[in-house]
Amino acid sequence: MNLKVIAFDADDTLFVNEPYFQEVEQKFCALMQDYLSHQGLSQELFKTEIENLDLYGYGIKGYILSMIEAAMKISNNTISLEIIEKIIIYGKELLQKPIELLDGVEETLKALSGKYKLIVATKGDLKDQQSKLHRSGLGHYFHHIEVMADKQEINYQKLLKRLEIEASEFFMIGNSLKSDVLPVLGIGGYAVHIPFHTTWEHEKISHKVEHANFKTFEKITEVLSILLKV
């Protein structure tokens, strides 16, 4: 490998994210329990989220709007202003959640700092992601922060063009096989999967990934066994 750039996903790779969304979903289901079962409510909310991705993109603000829309659909437009207000409050609480760094993250960044160009390559709402990175205290490790509209091959190709590097010089680390691994392998880069204990349904895949440029590690510090030997 002739690596120049090491990219890190942010949510559930550097710091906790998905469990906070699951907490809010639980609150939403409790709020709407008079209309449908918990499972039915979760399914309707997920369906609405996916339908809205092209309009709102990824992130908390789109999630808030999807909760309000789902509540309106589920209640046949009879939902009270009080419930809508509570949904908005849940969303604001989500935007202000404390940053919880995952084990080994700062140790890994310190070890790689100065040896490679380190960047963040994540998706979501720009302002929210910038805020989380600022509050995490990790910002100074990164040369570049890229908040992507999506993580398809074309998005990574555009990123590499801005970084002025080849795919073979790019190494991605993340918790999502669908977003952080498959598209990077597809364009000829290297990728490492660090599983998180919970994954958003939209990020799951049904097949095993096998590729010469791919590895899975249980802990993020294990990438050092590769990257400090290159």
Q: Which amino acid is at 128?
A: D
* Orientation of helix 81-95 relative to helix 18-31, angle to 10°: 170
User: Do 196 and 13 form a contact (C-beta atoms < 8 A)?
Assistant: yes
What confidence score (pLDDT) does residue 93 get? 94
Per-residue pLDDT of the chain (230 residues; tens, 9 = 90+): 799 999 999 999 999 999 999 999 999 999 999 999 999 999 999 999 999 998 998 889 999 999 999 999 999 999 999 999 999 999 999 999 999 999 999 999 999 999 999 999 999 888 889 999 999 999 999 998 999 989 999 999 999 999 999 999 999 999 999 999 999 999 999 999 999 877 767 677 778 888 999 999 999 999 999 999 75
Q: How far apart are CA 177 and CA 137, in angstroms?
A: 26
What confidence score (pLDDT) does residue 230 get? 58
**DSSP type of residue 178:** I
What confidence score (pLDDT) does residue 124 get? 85
10: helix, strand or coil: coil
Q: How far apart are CA 105 and CA 103, in angstroms?
A: 6
User: Do 185 and 152 form a contact (C-beta atoms < 8 A)?
Assistant: no
CA end-to-end span of the chain: 7
Q: How far apart are CA 160 and CA 80, in angstroms?
A: 48
What confidence score (pLDDT) does residue 204 get? 74
Of 137, 108, 101, the closest CA to residue 15 belongs to 101
CATH of segment(s) 5-16+99-227: 3.40.50.1000
The model carries a pTM of 0.90
- φ/ψ of residue 83, rounded to 5: -70, -40
Kindly list the domain boundaries of the chain, sorted by start residue.
5-16+99-227, 18-95
What confidence score (pLDDT) does residue 1 get? 77
What confidence score (pLDDT) does residue 181 get? 95
Long-range contacts of 181-185 (CB under 8 A, 24+ apart): 181/209, 181/214, 182/209, 183/151, 183/152, 183/153, 183/155, 183/156, 184/156, 185/209, 185/211, 185/213, 185/214
- Fold of the domain spanning 18-95: DNA polymerase; domain 1 (1.10.150)
What confidence score (pLDDT) does residue 200 get? 61
What are the b/e assignments for 164-175, b being 16+ CB within 10 Å?
Answer: ebebebbbbbbb
What confidence score (pLDDT) does residue 197 get? 74
Give the burial class of 222: count Cβ atoms within 10 A of its Cβ; 0-12 exposed, 13-18 middle, 19 or more buried.
Answer: middle
What confidence score (pLDDT) does residue 203 get? 74
